[in-house]
Amino acid sequence: MASEINRFDAVLFTVTVLTWGTTWFVILGQLGVVHPIVSVGWRFLLAAGVVFGICWIRAERLRLSAEEHGLCLLLGLFLFSLNYGLFYTASLSLTTGLVSIVFSTMVFWNALGARWLMKQPLDYRALAGGVIGIFGLMILFWDELLRFSWLNSGSSALVLCLLGTLSASSGNLVSAALQKRSMNVWNSTAYGMLYGTALTFGFAGLSNYPIQFEWTLIYVGSLLYLVIFGSVIAFGSYLTLVGRIGPGRAAYATIVFPVVAILVSVLFEDYRLTPLALVAVALVVAGNWLALSKSKVQKSSCRA
């Protein structure tokens, strides 16, 4: 695992945060006639086609062994199917702020998973930065936390949200394992998205969700944005970052992109930042610096 965040890693992190931070707003264009689970299927079906095209242009290896197909199937299940299905279902009962807070705990699940399964040492600076960042998010969405009640459907939705986070974290670890083999981000992601699409449409069929499409400008436009920016570019950048700096530190993006979503709301939805919200953003930035930087002692010891 890389010991420092270099300029290329910083670009990958920034691209991931900006693209996923804006999808929270764009995804509203997907809500309507088509069932959300079916929309996820269309999203990753188109994204898989684009990523396979990238693999063909790059002359990537597309003939896989049975074991590699099995790992790509797990990648599709955890990262491109189960993860989204659970979060879409939870979002019907939970507010966006609560969903983002739960999802940001992936910082810890990724770090623990990398420690247990990949024998990577725990990065305590990244974990401390994660605590600070999540505390900032809790302040940012404090009103939503106060309105939450364990006595209604929100409690079961919160469990689904946590399961979705664990699923996404598992997908991160599978991607990291694939990148340690003879595969890379592009061919593993192409097959992962393809398997995820098949699993999603299979679940939709078993659940009697109508497989339909909405030919409107808003639906098609938002879908194309989610395919190109929210899937191909974002996952390409993020999973590359997972392979370069490790799952734990890369997962800090899940803490930062809700802040980008808030800034998008300021620009397009007349959301007003309060002084307390500015303090919360400052905490997220401080945690970001702590999680993604290294102390001078660590840097000098690495060079030595």
Transcribe 212-264 into DSSP letters: ----SHHHHHHHHHHHIIIIIIHHHHHHHHHHHH-HHHHTTHHHHHHHHHHHH
Q: What pLDDT is recorded for position 224?
A: 97
Query: For 38-67, what is each residue's pLDDT tens digit?
Result: 999 999 999 999 999 999 999 999 999 999
Q: Which of 65-74, 156-165, 291-300 has the lowest mean pLDDT?
A: 291-300
Position with higher pLDDT, 213 vs 114? 213
Range of the domain at 62: 7-296
Q: Which residues contact 54 (CB under 8 A, 6 or more apart)?
A: 60, 186, 190, 232
CA dist., res. 120 & res. 299, Å (int): 18
Residue 1 forms part of a structural domain: no
Say yes or no to pLDDT of 299 above 50: no
Q: Does a structural domain hold residue 302?
A: no
Residue 193 pLDDT > 80: yes
* Residue that the structure tokens 């936390």 belong to: 145
Residue 151 pLDDT level (bands cut at 50, 70, 90): low
Share of the chain above pLDDT 90, in %: 41
Q: Does residue 203 sit within a domain?
A: yes
pTM > 0.85: yes or no: no
| Cα distance between residue 21 and residue 252, in whole Å | 13
Residue in 250, 230, 225 with CA at minimum distance from that of residue 240: 250
- Output the average pLDDT for the chain: 84
Q: Dihedral (C-alpha) 144, 147, 148, 149: value to the nearest 10 degrees?
A: 180
- The pLDDT confidence band at residue 1, using thresholds 50, 70 and 90, is very low
Average pLDDT over residues 232-256: 88
Report the number of distinct structural domains present in the chain.
1
Tokens 């920016």 -> residue:
229
Mean pLDDT is lowest, of 13-17, 55-59, 151-155, for 151-155
Question: Would you say residue 301 lies in a domain?
Answer: no
The rounded distance, in Å, linking the Cα atoms of 104 and 116 is 20
pLDDT band at 295 (very low <50, low <70, confident <90, very high): very low
Sign for the CA dihedral angle at 100, 104, 106, 108 comes to: negative
Distances from the Cα of 168 to the Cαs of 76, 217, 239, in angstroms?
10, 30, 12
146: region left, alpha or beta (phi > 0 left; psi from -120 to 50 alpha): alpha
In a domain, 16, yes or no: yes
Residue 251: which of 294, 302, 288, 293 has the closest Cα?
Answer: 288
pLDDT in tens, 96-106: 777 878 888 88
Whether the CB-CB separation of 302 and 7 falls below 8 Å is answered with no
166 within some domain: yes
Amino acid at residue number 267: L
| 112 lies in some domain | yes
